[in-house]
A and B are shown apart, each in its own frame.
Chain A
Amino acid sequence: MGTFAFLVLAALLIGSALAVVLHPNPVKSAMALVATLFLLAIVFVLLGAHMIAVLQIIVYTGAIMVLFLFVIMLLNLGDEEVPTEWPRVVLRGLAGMAGALMALQLVRLVAGAPLGRMVDAPEGYGGALMVARSLFTDYVLPFELTGLLLLVAVIGPVVLAQRRGR
């Protein structure tokens, strides 16, 4: 049952990721990316990361993807033309083959990794309490720096989006 669920999820994930990369219309690419991120949240639940799965849906599919769709619609983008002249077509094919080779090498790396036996998850694994305890003790400095980073990310776009010379 668990194996079947994983295989279905993996097939859907790969399909939707390919749709993001290959669909010429940016809005449909973005919707496929929403599906990809949502399916990944389900995979995170299978791995016991409940808190991160909820954050994935709120932050990624909720906030980041709305930002992407907003910009795509603000700029009123149409379909990207699919290249037909020969160098572009050949280069796209070569890029696809290089990607397949990269995936093959990464899979071989994974297959040879000394992973050992899976540890039984402790009580409350991946819940808000356990993640928060780790976040506010061992990782409190990176956490504060993340706050600074987000502040920069708030001010930066405001500066970038200003019209200069007026």
Chain B
Amino acid sequence: MVPISWYLTLSAVLFAIGAVGVVIRRNVIVILMAIEIMLNAVNLTFIALARQLGSVDGQVVVFFVMAVAAAEAAVGLAIIVAFFRNRESVNVDDLASLRW
């Protein structure tokens, strides 16, 4: 069996990739996808530590994270569609109307 710290390392690398994606991309939909990568990296941490402790509590937390991610994707994509109707764009630079 591979030691749990390897899984945690993989999760850390995936989280950093997702974080960089949020920063460097300008397309809102791709930014949402990078957030999904970050959520899944954290899910991997929960499942790895649940296995380490021999308990299913971490897996139940992952179940809730999935439900919240589904809700977030539905609402976020609806906001993007509404925004696209107004501006004909999904670029975050056009989404700055609230910025001072």
Contacts and interface: CB of A to CB of B under 8 A. Distances in A.
B62 A37 contact: no
Contacts of A75: 29, 80-81, 84, 90
User: Interface extent on A, as a size class?
Assistant: 35 or more
A68 B29 contact: yes
Contacts of A17: 14, 17-18, 37
Interface string A115-151: 1101111100110001100110011001000100110
B25 A80 contact: yes
A29 B24 CA distance: 14
Contact of A13 (B14, B43, B75): B14
B5 to A, nearest CB: 6
B84 A126 contact: no
Contacts of B9: 107, 110-111
A3 B30 CA distance: 32
Interface string A141-165: 0100010011011101100110100
Interface of A: 2-3, 6, 10, 13-14, 17-18, 20-21, 26, 29-30, 33, 36-37, 40, 43-44, 46-49, 51-52, 55-56, 59-60, 63-64, 67-68, 71-72, 74-75, 77, 80, 91-92, 95-96, 98-100, 102-103, 106-107, 109-111, 113, 115-116, 118-122, 125-126, 130-131, 134-135, 138-139, 142, 146, 149-150, 152-154, 156-157, 160-161, 163
Among all A-B residue pairs, the 4 with the closest Cβ atoms? A119-B54, A106-B12, A157-B78, A153-B71
Interface of B: 1-10, 12-21, 23-27, 29-30, 32-34, 36-37, 40, 43-44, 47-48, 50-54, 56-57, 59-60, 62-64, 66-75, 77-82, 84-85, 90
